[in-house]
């Protein structure tokens, strides 16, 4: 069974995604949109102090990132 998701902020998650090649293309309010050169989908990450589990899980799924990969990058 996989371990629980780590508690991360929106800024921490954006930092991890940028290390993996995602770039910030715009921000509106507290939401940042990121895109990757090799992927057709774009991600929207809210700049909250703590991301909810469902939100984090959805972003990781869309980015093609596993929980273990996220932990390694943190």
Retrieve residue 38's tokens: 């090799």
pLDDT of residue 1: 46
Percent of the chain having pLDDT more than 70?
97
The Cα–Cα gap between 61 and 58 comes to 5
Could you tell me what percent of the chain has a pLDDT over 90?
74
Q: Which residues pair with 36 in a beta bridge?
A: 22
Q: Is 16 a domain residue?
A: yes
Q: What is the CATH number of the domain that holds 22?
A: 3.30.920.30
Q: How many domains does the chain have?
A: 1
Tell me the pLDDT tens digit for each residue of 23-58: 999 999 999 999 999 988 999 999 999 999 999 999
Looking at the domain assignment, is residue 71 inside a domain?
A: no
Q: Is residue 72 part of a domain?
A: no
Cα 8 to Cα 34: distance, rounded to the nearest angstrom:
17
6 token code pair: 């780590």
Does the pTM exceed 0.85? yes
- The secondary structure of residue 23, as a DSSP letter, is E
């Amino acid at each position: 069974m996989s371990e629980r998701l780590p508690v991360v902020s929106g800024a921490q998650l954006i930092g991890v995604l940028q290390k993996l090649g995602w770039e910030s293309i715009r921000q509106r309010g507290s939401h940042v949109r990121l895109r990757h050169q090799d992927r057709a989908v774009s991600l929207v990450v809210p700049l909250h102090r703590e991301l909810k589990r469902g939100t984090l899980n959805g972003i990781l799924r869309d980015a093609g990132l596993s929980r273990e990969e996220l932990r390694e990058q943190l």
